[in-house]
Copies of this chain bind each other. A is one copy, B any other.
Amino acid sequence: MAEDDPPRLGVGMIGYAFMGAAHSQAWRNAPRFFDLPLRPELTVLGGRSEGAARAAARRLGWADVETDWKALIERDDVDVVDICTPGDTHAEIAIAALAAGKHVLCEKPLANSVAEAEAMAAAAAQAATRGVLAMVGFTYRRVPAIELARRMVADGRIGQIRQIRAQYLQDWLADPQAPLSWRLDKQRAGSGALGDIGAHIVDLAQFISGEVLTSVGGVLTTFVSERPVADSFAGLHGRGGTGRGPVTVDDAAIFLARLSGGGIATFEATRFAWGRKNAIRLELNGTTGSLAFDFEDMNVLNYFDATLAPVEAGFRRIVVTEPDHPYLSAWWPAGHGLGYEHAFTHQAVDLVGAIAAGRQPEPSFADGLQIQRVLDAVERSSTAGGAWVALPTAAGS
């Protein structure tokens, strides 16, 4: 370590599957491309099985392992606890870590229930008074085109929002032989498509628009109620075993919403849209323009400026790789696009910056709780046959 290196920031990460790999890449990459006020160190990886954890740590670059997450959060060399485990463990770990004085980055959705999320938000609010910070990982906010969209809305480039259409389409469960995983177990995951991917588009719609959902009505459905039990997994894809077990979560969620600014919105989250692999599609129509994004073309933001003469107006395909675009000056020349994992690096950069500045990182646990309430309201609407459910306003949350 050189004299003028920034102070270290010890990170302890719990969980090392898909999300753990993405977070590790972020912690490794952030200081290679960005000037950070603190130097993240991959201090310790938490996992229940020591052998597997050690292998993962070596592969992913972590210096040490702990098999007990409680030991991990107590370590003096850990400043940040990064929670990459299934949703049923978030509340306990996060609350304990905050109590131990550790900053927390918690994967989304914040929790599996509103009650848990409320407890977490309360713990975060209390911790903040001690300078201990908490953030929830709605990582897609850090896709440069998404952040550019948010800025353009904030700058009034599309006026007042009238309509949003938000879709998150995947197909990895469309095959009824795709095996069970914890993501299909209500106990572990809380919900299915709704919480796993629907949560993202709720967050993105609110983030970009700067508004919140005030009421929702919708339907959850499960197309395939029983699946093979998996023997092993690679990414989202398991290799099937011989037994079969029940799917206890939703396969798809569709819902409508009203926005705090008076607009309306449609949402759809599904893992059954054959041919759509990770299609996060967002369209916002305002009084003076529109924005459109599709993660299948993640380095692009489409913008329609309705203040131009109709003869030359059209959706403008902005390739979001210019040095002046969000996060881009750290990367490659224009046109040399980024990939999925870069948003995680940007998340790490933003979190490190907030910690160094003693500033609340966004999205906060309160934001995560608000989204949890939206998800909960959609589930209650579905259970009630689609009748709309009002959400507490910001003041009342």
Contact = CB atoms under 8 A, between A and B. Distances in A.
A273 interface: yes
Given A323-B235, A332-B18, A337-B340, A289 B274 contact: yes
Q: How many copies of this kind of chain does the complex include?
A: 4
Nearest to A285: B273
A257 to B, nearest CB: 9
A306 B340 contact: no
Given A306-B275, A338-B339, A340-B336, A268 B315 contact: no
Interface in A48-68: 58-61
A298 interface: yes
A236 interface: yes
B318 A314 contact: yes
Interface string A74-113: 0000000000000000000000000000000000000000
A209 interface: no
Interface stretch (A200-208, A351-359, A362-370, A385-393): A385-393
Interface stretch (A128-136, A164-172, A184-192): A164-172
Interface in A1-43: 2, 5, 18, 22, 24-25, 28-29, 31-32
A304 interface: yes
Contact of A314 (B268, B317, B338): B317
Interface stretch (A115-123, A214-222, A241-249): A214-222
Interface SS of A by simple majority: mixed
A10 B386 CA distance: 50
Contacts of A5: 58
Given A252-B163, A339-B342, A235 B332 contact: yes
Given A290-B273, A318-B314, A388-B385, A279 B235 contact: no
A182 interface: no
Contacts of A273: 163, 283, 285, 290
Interface residues of A, number: 103
A329 interface: yes
28 contacts: A18-B332, A18-B333, A25-B32, A28-B28, A32-B60, A158-B274, A162-B174, A163-B252, A170-B335, A171-B285, A171-B334, A172-B333, A217-B386, A219-B256, A221-B264, A237-B323, A254-B256, A273-B290, A274-B285, A275-B315, A278-B334, A278-B337, A296-B319, A311-B318, A311-B324, A316-B317, A336-B339, A386-B388
Interface of A: 2, 5, 18, 22, 24-25, 28-29, 31-32, 58-61, 148, 152, 158, 162-163, 165, 167, 170-172, 174-176, 217-219, 221, 223, 234-237, 252, 254-256, 258, 264-266, 268, 270, 272-279, 283, 285-290, 295-298, 300-304, 306, 309-319, 321-325, 329, 332-342, 385-388
